Copies of this chain bind each other. A is one copy, B any other.
């Protein structure tokens, strides 16, 4: 059954355009929306969701989608309906929003440190199943305090580094020391290992870890890997049991550049308006870094702050806060003043996080818009 049957309007605060497209049937085309505005195509999104679930099912991998990309409880629920085993959040604030909406089995794949975080984790653990990641003793102590305060068991995984050089312990010895302490701490349950992103080093680490853990009398119940760009080949890369992916729901220019999606798989586009054409080779859009972010893609993927699929020779050379400067000098047909144009964002997750609401559409027709309740939940 479709997520949003045609004609339903799931609510939202987007102002209707007086006199434009709002006929007696209340229909509106996406081209009629006020700009700038992020719009998600529901059919493309559904296809993306199902394809990843099918991939995980085919390879016996549990899918635990990361909600950082959409920050919308209803979409997290949809991911669970399709077969996801729980969800992943980066911050407590995101997890609180998801738990409030009825989501259960939440993994915070992030080291939480401090009294305040322990209190909030405890409050969550009292009402939903919680799992957290640690790569250091203070994060472990925070989880232990939360377990004590809540009286609930909290799953803990140890994060190791597969070459990303961000969080994660660098040696099997460190991982084992943390795992032993987790196993010895009342209220904590050692759930296994995690890494981000999954890489060839993931397998190397695991193969070294297994005998070391076994010698210490510890099983590794599970290996959790992550990252949308490399998701489709993960079964060849490392024997992960669980996959944490976020971007695949919408996709973006970086995903296309990584070969993990096509332009047709990009469910989110930003609609913008050409508000100035001050020179033959220059168009100015009403979207800047406050709409698209300043995130770039890898140089080999392409230049600029987003891709204009209808003007493949255009380059968004600069974003100021509310302006996008486009070099249209190499376009045979150039965008005109006042024209509505589409932009595929470089990085969809940060676009979501800039906007209070997102519009959903199907076949170019607006279905409705939703506020994004976990937007800005950085704590």
Contacts and interface: CB of A to CB of B under 8 A. Distances in A.
Interface of A: 15, 17-20, 34-37, 68, 90-91, 110-117, 119, 135-136, 138-139, 161, 165-170, 273, 275-279, 282, 284, 286-287, 289-291, 293-296, 318, 320-323, 325, 337-338, 349-350, 353-356, 375-376, 378-379
A349 B322 CA distance: 11
A344 to B, nearest CB: 18
A355 B116 CA distance: 19
Most B CB within 10 A of own CB, among A139, A167, A349: A167
B113 A18 contact: no
Contacts of A170: 278-279
Contacts of A112: 275
A276 B136 contact: yes
Nearest to A68: B321
Q: Which of A17, A337, A353, A378 has the most CB of B within 10 A?
A: A378
Nearest to A325: B166
A167 B353 contact: no
A23 to B, nearest CB: 15
A320 B347 CA distance: 11
Nearest to A324: B166
B275 A113 contact: yes
Contacts of A115: 17-20
Contacts of A18: 115-116, 119
Contact of A355 (B169, B275, B376): B376
A275 B110 contact: yes
5 contacts: A18-B115, A90-B322, A113-B273, A136-B277, A293-B294
Contact of A290 (B138, B320, B356, B378): B378
A322 B166 contact: no
